[in-house]
């Protein structure tokens, strides 16, 4: 989980510096999608490894719910920030900050206890 959140944070920050270069922006966006695509399968196994297989049925739906909420609110918030600023820079920075916060929260030793 930490690796995917760290990867997304770095890729999002790389996007901030490249909006005027179409091909580079596209390549970095593809990297973001590459790292994003594994979340469904990888996060279920990480929940099992961290909290035990017996708790996956109760915990993974919460992970999936948060994923869904982000999928609905993220684009709307990004569009709203674009309307406000005329650029996606702030939206991308916000996504990087949220991913970095998730990375920080999963790094606490207490979050690994069963």
pLDDT of amino acid 24:
85
pLDDT of amino acid 112:
52
For the full predicted model, state whether its pTM sits above 0.85: no
| 16 Cβ contact partners less than 8 Å away, ≥ 6 residues apart | 89, 92, 93, 96
Contact present, 77 and 97 (Cβ < 8 Å): no
Tens of each residue's pLDDT in the chain, 114 residues: 677 788 888 888 888 877 666 788 888 888 887 777 667 778 888 888 888 999 999 998 998 898 889 889 989 999 999 999 998 889 989 989 998 998 888 777 655 554
Residue 44: count of CB within 10 angstroms of its CB:
15
pLDDT of amino acid 1:
66
3-state secondary structure of 54: helix
Residue 45: count of CB within 10 angstroms of its CB:
13
Contact present, 90 and 81 (Cβ < 8 Å): yes
Q: Specify burial of residue 12 (Cβ count, 10 A radius: 0-12, 13-18, 19+).
A: buried
């Amino acid at each position: 989980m930490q690796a995917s959140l760290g990867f997304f944070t770095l890729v999002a920050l790389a996007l901030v510096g490249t909006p005027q270069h179409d091909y580079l922006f596209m390549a970095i966006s593809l990297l973001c999608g590459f790292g994003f695509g594994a979340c469904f399968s990888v996060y279920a196994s990480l929940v099992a490894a961290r909290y035990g297989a017996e708790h996956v049925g109760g915990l993974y739906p919460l992970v999936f719910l948060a994923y869904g909420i982000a999928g609905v609110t993220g684009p709307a918030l990004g569009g709203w920030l674009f309307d406000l600023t005329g650029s996606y820079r702030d939206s991308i920075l916000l996504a990087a900050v949220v991913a970095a916060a998730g990375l920080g929260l999963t790094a606490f030793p207490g979050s690994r206890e069963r």
